[in-house]
Amino acid sequence: VKDGAAVRMSKRAGTVVTLDDLVEQIGVDAARYSLVRSSVNSSIDIDLDLWTRQDSENPVYYVQYAHARTNQIIGNAAAFDYASVAPDFALLTDAREGELIRTLGEYPRVVATAAEMREPHRVVRYLEELAGAYHPFQSDKTLRVIPQGDDVVTPLNAARLELVKATRQVLANGLGLLGVNAPERM
């Protein structure tokens, strides 16, 4: 789909004719992601305008941005002394923390099922779900990972940092399975 109209992959019509042309128009990561996002039993409609956008409407951008945000938080945390504080995971009681933990816990099952059934779209949909659980957690200013001002690192801050690290690892692993880059910054 281009500008709201269907565009067929056709040599005669002079439109996108090869995967190379698709990659040239939307980029390699978006092309790979868009092609494995749907079940092999369904037809694929690729909205060229959507896949080139750099916002949360673009599924690959949304997932990659979640990964980049985890890297930013982990990088910012390096300025604080987390090493001397043991994380207390029992303090992770907020609903957004619980949702993120539950979603992270689904990763091994999703990957095993996707491999067993030869359905990579399951990994894609899972990554979107994980990004969907991470963004509200990260955006909530009451769920501080990094202390503010002169505050010291608490066991709760340390537990949240470990949650961010786990999210980064799972996003990177999932994107890696798909052959899609997990950018450190965007």
- For residue range 87-128, what is the model confidence (pLDDT) as tens digits? 999 999 999 999 999 999 999 999 999 999 999 999 999 999
Instruction: Say if pTM beats, i.e. exceeds, 0.85.
Output: yes
Residue 79 pLDDT level (bands cut at 50, 70, 90): very high
- For residue range 9-25, what is the model confidence (pLDDT) as tens digits? 555 555 555 778 778 88
Residue 4: CB partners within 8 Å, gap ≥ 6?
A: 49
Coil/strand/helix, residue 5: strand
- Is the pLDDT at 28 greater than 70? The verdict is yes
Which domains are delineated in the chain?
55-178 (1.10.730.10)
Please give the mean pLDDT across all residues of the chain. Answer: 90
Residue 5, beta-bridge partner list: 2
Long-range CB contact pairs, 82-86, < 8 A, 24+: 82/153, 82/157, 82/158, 82/161, 84/153, 85/153, 85/154, 85/155, 85/157, 85/158, 86/155, 86/158
* Model pLDDT, residue 144: 92
